[in-house]
Structure 1
Amino acid sequence: MPELASIVIHCRDPYLLAPFWSVVTGLPVADEDRVKLAERSLGPDEAVLLRDPGGRRPDVWLTPAAQLPGPGRIHLDLVGDAEERAAVLEAGATVIRELPRWTVLADPEGNEFCLIPRNEPDPRPVD
């Protein structure tokens, strides 16, 4: 069976979204890309890589795209506690709606994602 290797998030501004998704996923920006972000030296179509140093989780790529479809370019379901939720909000997420079993949030470019409390017995939302 194939394994999930990476998730690609198309974006307008990787300088904005790479740090945001690094905080939200806990995946650090790859060393080479961290330097390029700091120097603002990414090429016009150059992606930023977020990578788990231990290789246990899929990579996340923030890839600039000239044309972006409306909401729904990605949708991630994340599990987190109250402290992690606070960090996500502080990083720039906005609450779209509160549902009984999870919260729908949006990143700074409007991509929606769900945050499911860690204590939820069956974290498979249907939204």
Structure 2
Amino acid sequence: MMSLRWYSTVVEAQDHRALAQWWAEALGWDVAFENDQEAAVLPPWAQDFIEILDFHRVPPGMVFVPVEHAKTAKNRLHWDFAPHTTDDRGAEIRRLIDLGARRVDVGEPEDVTWTVLADPEGNEFCVLSARDM
């Protein structure tokens, strides 16, 4: 039986190198490579496992590609990130805002357990409530 591997999520950016660097900093990941056509961000441990894991078990990365136009509408796809229960969720949200994220309102109810933020180019993502797994 064939199956596909989630290889990467591709994000258009006016400054693909800067946005890749921002996400690497936000996630504690590494910019694995960059050139004029793309910049890829991977978890730091992924490079160690790429050679030893089965193809289907290698984790996905994030790839940023250059475009001339700015983002103009709400994303139809977004990332959800969660802190561990031993982490300070509020401090993590403040850290992301200090890096250049901003809070955005996408019409969510007031009593939700997540916070919607946008990266420096306006791509929405959520910081969920703390999780054990």
**Distance apart, 1:54 and its partner CA:** 2.4
Mapped to 1, the partners of 2:61 and 2:115 lie a distance apart of 24
TM-score normalized with structure 2 length: 0.68
Mark the runs of 5 or more structure 1 residues left unpaired by the alignment.
34-41, 122-127
Moved over 6 A (4+): none
Find the counterpart in structure 2 of residue 103 from structure 1: 115
Q: Which has the larger radius of gyration?
A: 2
Instruction: Check conservation: 1:77, 1:114, Cα contact below 8 A.
Output: yes
Matched, 1:76 2:67: no
State the one-letter code of the partner of 1:50: V
Mapped to 2, the partners of 1:78 and 1:117 lie a distance apart of 9
Mark the runs of 5 or more structure 2 residues left unpaired by the alignment.
47-57, 84-88
TM-score normalized with structure 1 length: 0.71
Instruction: Check conservation: 2:82, 2:131, Cα contact below 8 A.
Output: no
Give aligned-pair identity as a percent: 29
In structure 2, the residue corresponding to 1:4 is in which secondary structure? coil
Please provide the CA RMSD for this pair. 2.6
Q: Residues 10 and 73 from structure 1, CA distance in 2 versus in 1: closer, same or farther, beyond 3 angstroms?
A: farther
Mapped to 2, the partners of 1:64 and 1:74 lie a distance apart of 19
Q: Following superposition of structure 1 onto structure 2, how do residues 2-81 of structure 1 map, counting pairs within 5 Å?
A: 2-30=4-32, 32-33=33-34, 42-43=35-36, 46-55=37-46, 57-67=59-69, 70-71=72-73, 72=75, 74-80=77-83, 81=89
Give the count of matched residue pairs: 110
